[in-house]
Structure 1
Amino acid sequence: MEEARTTIVVATRNRRETLERTLPLHAGPVVLVDNGSTDGTPDLVRRRFPHVRVVEAGRNLGAPARNVGVKLARTPYVAFADDDSWWAKGALDRAADVMDAHPRLAVLAGKVLVGPEERTDPVSTLMARSPLPGSAGPGVLGFLACGAVVRRSAFLEAGGFDDVIFFFGEEERLAVDLAARGWELAYVEEVVAHHHPSPARDPRARLALAARNAVLTAVLRRPWPVVTRTVLRTARSGSPGRQGLRDAVPRLPRALARRRTLPRAVENARELLERTS
C-alpha cells in the first residue's frame, strides 16, 4: 500500500451530528481536534470512527486548534476540513502530486463547491481570476481553510493560525506571512472540496466578526495608512461594522505587540489584489 502523503485535520466544536455524516467521507489519516465540545463529540468519534485520532483541547482554541493537528501529523502535507466539509474523491492525491512537483508551494487552495447545488464559492471565483503569477496556478494571498492543503513544514515555520484573529478570516495573516518568507501560494482548480455549511448561522454576528478580524489583520501586518482606511471603511459599513470595531479593541494590545509590516513586494501584491477584486 502506498504510504499516505496527506493528513486531514478537522477542528470541531459541538457538531457531532454533522461529523457523523462527513467523517466517513475522509480518505487517509485523520486528526480531529475538539474545541471543548459539550455534546459528547469526542466519545462518539472514538466509538464510531476508531481510525480517527481524537485530541481534546479542553477549551475553544478557535482556528489555532488546527495547529495542534498539524503538529501531530506525520505526513509532508496537511489538508484542512471543517466538520461540514470533505474532499472530493482523488483530490488529495492530485494535491500531493502538485505539491511534490512544486517544492516552494506552501498552500494549495482548491476549488470549494458549496451546498447540494455545488455552487462555486465566491472566494474560489476570485482566486481563479487572480492577477498574481504562480507556478502551479494563479498566485493567491488568501485561501479558504476548508479547501486548502498546506506543506506541513512551511505552515509550522510561519507559526500557523493565531489567537489574535481566533476564527473567521484567519487565513489572510498566515497567507501573507508565508509569502513574506518566500513561499508560494496558488489556486489549483482541479483540486475540489465540498462544503455544506449549516444554515443555523447568525449573519449579523458573522458580519461583525469579519469586520473585527479585518481590522486586526490590518493592524498585524499592513501599513498604517491601510489600517486607517480599514477602520474608516468598517466604521461606515453599518452597525455590524461598528460592533466589529468595538470587539477589536480588547485584542488590539496583542495585535500591536505582534505587529510586523510586510516586505514591499508582498504589500504591493496585496494592494493589487484589492484593486482588482
Structure 2
Amino acid sequence: MSPPLSDRLTVVLLTYNCGEWIARTVDHLQRLGLPMIAVDNASRDDNVAQLTAAGVEVMRLPRNIGAAARNVGARRARTPYLAFCDDDGWFTGEGLDAAVAALDRHPRLALVNARILVGEEERLDPISAEMAQSPLPVGDLPGLPLLGFMAGAVIVRRSAFLDVGGYDERLFIGGEEETLAVPLAAAGWQLRYLPEVVVRHFPSTANAGHIRHFGVRNTLVTAWRHRPAARAASWTWFILRTTPSRRVAVRGLAMAGAMLPSVLRERRVIDAELDRQLTLLEQRRRQATPTRRRAAHSVW
C-alpha cells in the first residue's frame, strides 16, 4: 500500500506583501491536506498575521531574498517532494498523485510543471500551451520534456533541488527559473510538463514593473555561466535588442556586467547535446519574437 500523499509532498508557499489575497490562496491549499510551510520575504503588510491565524507554519525572513526564499522552505521540509507555490495561485489537487508516482518511478526526474489555468475563466496560460508543443526529444519519461519551468507551479524532488544549490540568492528574482533549470539539466536531471497536474493562477502584477531588469540580468548571467561563448554572445544581443524598454535593457546589462568576475569564476560550459537542445528552444523564441517586442527571459 502506498504511503499517503501527505507523507510524500509538502507545499512550500512563497509570500510577499500579499495580505489582500492570501486568505483565498491558503484556503485552497489547505484543502489539499498536505503539510505546508510559508516562507515570507519580509512583508510589510498583515500577510504573516493572516498566515499565522490560519494555522500555517511561517518562516519570516528578516529581508527579502527573492526566489532563494524557496531554499529556506525546502531545507525545512521533511518530505521527498515539494510543491512550490506563489501567493497568487494554488494547486487544485488534480494530478498530484500522478506527479508523485512519476517521481517515485523515475529517479532522475527532478521536476514536474503543472498546467496553469489563469483567472476565474480558467484560461490556459500561454506558457502551458508552449510546453505542450515542446520540440525536445521525448524519451521514456511521462509528460513532455522541458528545459525551463514556471517557479510557482512545480513539484520538485527535494534532493535534486538542494543538490544543485536551489536558487542563487545573488540573482534575487525575475526569470529565476532558467538559473535553476540549466544547472539541473547539466547535472543529468530531467524536467517534464505533466498537464494532468493543475494550478490555478490569479496573477498579481503589483511588483512586475520593478523586476524586469532583474530578468534581463539573470538570463545574461545564465548564458555566460553555461553556454559556449558564441551562443552566449548571440543570446545577449537578442535579449538586448528585443527588450522593449531601453532603460531596462541597459540596467540589466550593467547589473550582469557587475557580476562578470563571479560569472567567469563559476563558468562551466554545458555539454554539446544540452547546448543543442537549448539552442532549439531559443530558435523557436527568436522566430516568435519580432525585434523590439518584449523577449521572454527564459526557455522552457
TM-score by length of 1: 0.92
Question: Which secondary structure state, in structure 2, belongs to the residue aligned with residue 54 of structure 1?
Answer: strand
Question: Which secondary structure state, in structure 2, belongs to the residue aligned with residue 271 of structure 1?
Answer: helix
Residue 106 of structure 1 is matched in structure 2 by: 110
CA contact (8 A) 2:93 2:197 kept: no
Residue 254 of structure 1 is matched in structure 2 by: 262
Percent sequence identity over matched residues? 42
Letter of the structure 2 residue corresponding to residue 138 of structure 1: L
Residue 2 of structure 1 is matched in structure 2 by: 4
Question: Which secondary structure state, in structure 2, belongs to the residue aligned with residue 168 of structure 1?
Answer: coil
2:83 equivalent among 74, 79, 82: 79
CA contact (8 A) 1:164 1:216 kept: no
The structural deviation recorded for 1:202 is 4.7
Letter of the structure 2 residue corresponding to residue 20 of structure 1: A
The structural deviation recorded for 1:128 is 1.1
Residue 227 of structure 2 is matched in structure 1 by: 222
CA distance in 2, matches of 1:113, 1:177: 28
Residue 211 of structure 1 is matched in structure 2 by: 216
Question: Which secondary structure state, in structure 2, belongs to the residue aligned with residue 55 of structure 1?
Answer: strand
Letter of the structure 2 residue corresponding to residue 183 of structure 1: W
CA contact (8 A) 1:234 1:242 kept: no
CA distance in 1, matches of 2:49, 2:277: 46
Q: 1:59 to 1:275 in 2, by over 3 A?
A: same
Q: Unmatched 5+ residue regions in structure 1? A: none
The structural deviation recorded for 1:3 is 5.4
The structural deviation recorded for 1:201 is 4.7
CA distance in 2, matches of 1:8, 1:108: 14
Question: Which secondary structure state, in structure 1, belongs to the residue aligned with residue 49 of structure 2?
Answer: helix
Q: 1:171 to 1:71 in 2, by over 3 A?
A: same
Residue 166 of structure 1 is matched in structure 2 by: 172
CA contact (8 A) 2:10 2:82 kept: yes
TM-score by length of 2: 0.85
* Higher mean C-alpha deviation, range 262-271 or range 186-195: 262-271
CA distance in 2, matches of 1:256, 1:59: 28
Question: Which secondary structure state, in structure 2, belongs to the residue aligned with residue 194 of structure 1?
Answer: strand
Letter of the structure 1 residue corresponding to residue 108 of structure 2: R
Q: Unmatched 5+ residue regions in structure 2? A: 286-300
Residue 33 of structure 1 is matched in structure 2 by: 39
CA distance in 1, matches of 2:186, 2:95: 28
CA distance in 2, matches of 1:173, 1:196: 24
The structural deviation recorded for 1:275 is 2.3
CA contact (8 A) 2:172 2:214 kept: no
